[in-house]
Amino acid sequence: MQLTFLGTSAGRPTKDRNVTSIALSLPEPMNSFWLFDAGEGTQHRLMGSKLKLNKLDNIFVTHLHGDHVYGLPGLLSSRSYFDGAGPLKLFGPSGIRAFIEGVFRLSGTHLAYDLEIIEITSGQILDDGKFKVEAAELDHRMPCFGFRIIEYPQPGQLNMERLAELGLAPGPLYGKLKQGEDVTLASGEIIRAADVVSPPTAGRVITVLGDTYPCGNSIALAKDANLLVHEGTFGPGMEAKAAAYGHSTVLQAAETAASAGVKQLVLTHFSSRFDKETIGSLLDAAREVFPHTIAADDYMEVDIPKSV
């Protein structure tokens, strides 16, 4: 699994950073990706990546501020021109349906695929048998959500050497053993799954938060996550300004990561007032609170290794 940051600026784009959008590439054999927010220019950023719109399955919108949604109409429209573009689900807060349907109606846009728009509330919003997604409302100037993506545990690996010793050739029984089922051979001998399959691997947890002032739901969504994506709109000493606009400083993001016990924090959504050198200084300050912190750049790819 891998996160690709397509836009890391807050409010408006800069020469170096587009506005918010993050892609989550899913593991094989799925070979698809999900998108979190789509600020203006997101489809242009996608063109500079290895991601293709016909591989996009789900879009999750944190809130309806323009730097998070103005790229949606164009992206959804362009997807019709990609061969193999199947049904797509769009999850977002109340109002996302009116926004999309209004733009499409006024512009005469028609899609060549099925688009399902789901207006969400807090709680579980998706379970596809491989991943679950939970949403909770954050503390911002308008309704805004964060998302907790939970991968189901992965089956253990077959001990091929032991199976060969037992005389069991590859075939359908391998699948049953891998799923934890004991099997009985024609001889009457029972092979127990626990004897030939390693323990399952815990699934990964990724938390992607929308714009937010520090709040309890941020910590709850990020609890023990493998990776947390948190906005870092403002720098140290700007707490009052952050509170006024419903945002966080990089130190507050680091404090949330520490409180939640996450493995890694990625800061994004930086104010356009900060240049690259300043963001380096902000990163140093955040690492004083939570050492396992990185600052996202546009097109940065962050791998999410399997849980041990």
**Which residues carry a binding-site annotation for Zn(2+)?**
63, 65, 67-68, 140, 211, 269
Q: Among positive and negative, which fits the CA dihedral 27, 90, 301, 135?
A: negative
CB-count burial class (<10 Å; 0-12, 13-18, 19+) for 152:
middle
- Dist. CA 249–CA 56, nearest whole Å: 32
**Residue 29: other Cβ atoms inside 10 A:** 6
**Residue 20: other Cβ atoms inside 10 A:** 29
Structure-block tokens of residue 153: 């545990």
**DSSP code at position 34:** E
Specify whether 67 is catalytic: yes
Catalytic residue among 16, 57, 67, 303: 67
Closest CA to 66 of 35, 38, 107, 98: 38
**Residue pair 134/147 in contact by the 8 Å Cβ criterion:** yes
Q: Among positive and negative, which fits the CA dihedral 86, 90, 91, 97?
A: negative
Binding site feature residues: 63, 65, 67-68, 140, 211, 269
The string over 268-296, giving b where at least 16 C-beta atoms fall within 10 Å of a residue's C-beta and e elsewhere, is bbbbbebeeeebeebbebbbebbeebbbb
**DSSP code at position 146:** E
Which residues contact residue 101 at a Cβ distance below 8 angstroms, ignoring those fewer than 6 apart? 117
Q: Which residues are known to be catalytic?
A: 67
